[in-house]
Amino acid sequence: MASADESAGTVELTLTSALAGLVDAYEQMPMPLNRYLGVILVPSAVFFVATVGVALLLDVALMIRGPIPLLGFLMFASAVFYPKILLSQRKAELNNQFHLVVTHMTVLATTNIDRIEVFRQLAKQDQYGEMAAEIGRVVELVDTWNLSLDDACRRRAKQVPSDAVSDFFDRLGYTLGAGQALDDYLVSEQDQIIANYKTVYQGTLDNLEVMKDLYLSMILSMTFALVFAVVLPVLTGTDPTMTVSAVIVLYVFVQSGFYLAIRSMAPHDPLWYHPEDKPSPVESKIRNATVAGTALSGGLLAFSLVGMLGLSPVTLDDVVFFLDPLPLPFYAAIPTLPLLIPGLVVGAEEKKIKARDEEFPSFIRALGATEGAKQSTTSTVLESLRKKDFGPLTDDVDNLYKRLNMRIETTQAWRHFTAECRSSLIQKFSEMYLIGREMGGDPKLLGELISENMMEVQQLRQRRTQATTTLVGLLYGITAASTFAFFIGLQVVNILASMSLDLQSGTSNFDVGSLINTEVYNIPLIEFLLIVIIMFGAMLSALMVRTVDGGHKINTYVHFVALTWVGSITAVMTKWLVTQFLAI
């Protein structure tokens, strides 16, 4: 009895805590509560009730009616928990930018400016998103409400959703109130701040591992449901097109939900930097490759459709003459091949960016140390440093020296340097070094501080790369396995249909149709629906990979094409194998 009471108490405490968190999320919504209730929550509840009514009134199979109220429930649940999701996204954004902001704050604190000016400078950095907005709220409390900086930090510590940021503001407020200098505190706290950031980052990667296991379980379950939807109408006589369509809709919702969940959990650590005011030859190369790839893909798709509709004397079958007839899955896969052109171009550029990121810590450390030792300008130091080998970063360092030597304004020279590198990390840390030097910071201290922090981020990125690699293997395996199951069921039905025709023509005393209902099947249409779900799964899987690895959007094309071809080849091979083993 005691253990039962303890379990009930634990469940009650958990539910109370979850409800309190949901109420807190509603209170922190940017939209007024009464407006959210009237515009979002109440209409979603009405829609849910309507879908339940439609499911009860429709005179169709339960497998078809079942997903209808599920759609309504999904919209209603999304409306109820959206404020909580919004708060979680804000928390994730704070955690993602926390380490870079504190590093930037430390760089500014080591200069000759006032401590509140440090916060003002950070509040102007739009690249830090929600973290910059949070620091702006601290500045507003100081400037508008005349609070001291330590009181403002302690006040915001009670309201930010991130535990890491809340703890930092709280400790910072008490430290400043005790009279310790901001730079002394931040420099001494670097190790703890880095360790805290690493814990949060690793926690997000661990959450992704859990999501991958859940995703595998759910997709396998949906695969079995879709196979049953294909095969069972042979015995029941129900319309298989309707049952397959209903399960496909549910399949789409499950995959979309997992994609959104992974997108919200993945650490936001983009690889690329895209300055709008400073175009790069890389951007024009990617643009040209994208135009060429999408144009060729669109042309192949149009050619394929025209040939299938009989509007052209030359069809895709004539081009791919060694496969006669051309399997239907290849009609979907072949037009995607030109998308590899922009995907491979972006992939090659991403390798260069990663190589630059690896070289930048040693470059900035050498720059800071040499500049501090010689007590000279950056351009003088770069005259010797540009001769050293910094890998793919060497040409960019040389261009930086040339711009500074031509007396181009220092800030603009560094901005051109970061624009050419196209690296998000190099842009942020270069900006820190530039601002720190302009405000009189010690170059050696700045170089060491930035180098150490960037190396820590690089180590975390390596772990993220490992997580991405396992995700890629999982997604390719799921695509092959689910396609194999889909087309086994379809081909078995196809063979049963041909067998029933033979049996009916060979005997007149037995009605085969009473046991095997193959006349209800439209095999080409069901095969088309299965190919559609393979293409949709390939697209979402490619987006998942891109979300986790933080790469360029166009890098999605490579995995989309590869997954599409894995599914198409698996489908064709499965049909051929089943035919070889079961055909009579």
pLDDT tens-place string over residues 165-208: 888 899 899 998 888 888 888 888 888 888 888 888 888 888 88
Residue 307 pLDDT > 80, yes or no?
no
Cα distance between the two ends of the chain: 64
Closest among 366, 453, 451, 445 to 110, alpha carbons compared:
445
User: Residues, the chain, total?
Assistant: 584
Q: What torsion, rounded to 10 degrees, do the Cα atoms 278, 280, 286, 289 define? A: 120
425 neighbors 354 (Cβ within 8 angstroms): no
H or E stretch including 531?
A: helix 523-549
CB atoms within 10 A of CB 17: 10
Is the full-model pTM beyond 0.75? yes
Residue 511 pLDDT > 70, yes or no?
no
**Spatial distance between the Cα atoms of 146 and 139, rounded to a whole number of angstroms:** 10
Q: Which residue has the higher pLDDT, 68 or 338?
A: 338
Residue 379 pLDDT > 70, yes or no?
yes
Residue 452 pLDDT > 80, yes or no?
yes
**Spatial distance between the Cα atoms of 108 and 122, rounded to a whole number of angstroms:** 9
Could you give the maximum distance between any two Cα atoms of the chain, in Å?
A: 105
Residues 124-150 have a mean pLDDT of: 90
**Which residues contact residue 398 at a Cβ distance below 8 angstroms, ignoring those fewer than 6 apart?**
386
The pLDDT of residue 502 is 52
185 neighbors 115 (Cβ within 8 angstroms): no
Q: Tell me the sheet residues that pair with 423.
A: 272
443 neighbors 367 (Cβ within 8 angstroms): yes
The pLDDT of residue 458 is 92
User: Residue with structure tokens 């500045």?
Assistant: 139
The pLDDT of residue 426 is 94
Q: What is the mean pLDDT of the chain?
A: 85
**Spatial distance between the Cα atoms of 286 and 20, rounded to a whole number of angstroms:** 49
The pLDDT of residue 473 is 94
DSSP 465-519: HHHHHHHHHHHHHHHHHHHHHHHHHHHHHHHHHHHHHHHHHH-SSS-GGGT---T
**Spatial distance between the Cα atoms of 416 and 119, rounded to a whole number of angstroms:** 26
The pLDDT of residue 479 is 94
Q: What are phi and psi of 408, to 5 degrees?
A: -70, 140
**Spatial distance between the Cα atoms of 381 and 365, rounded to a whole number of angstroms:** 12
**Spatial distance between the Cα atoms of 258 and 534, rounded to a whole number of angstroms:** 16
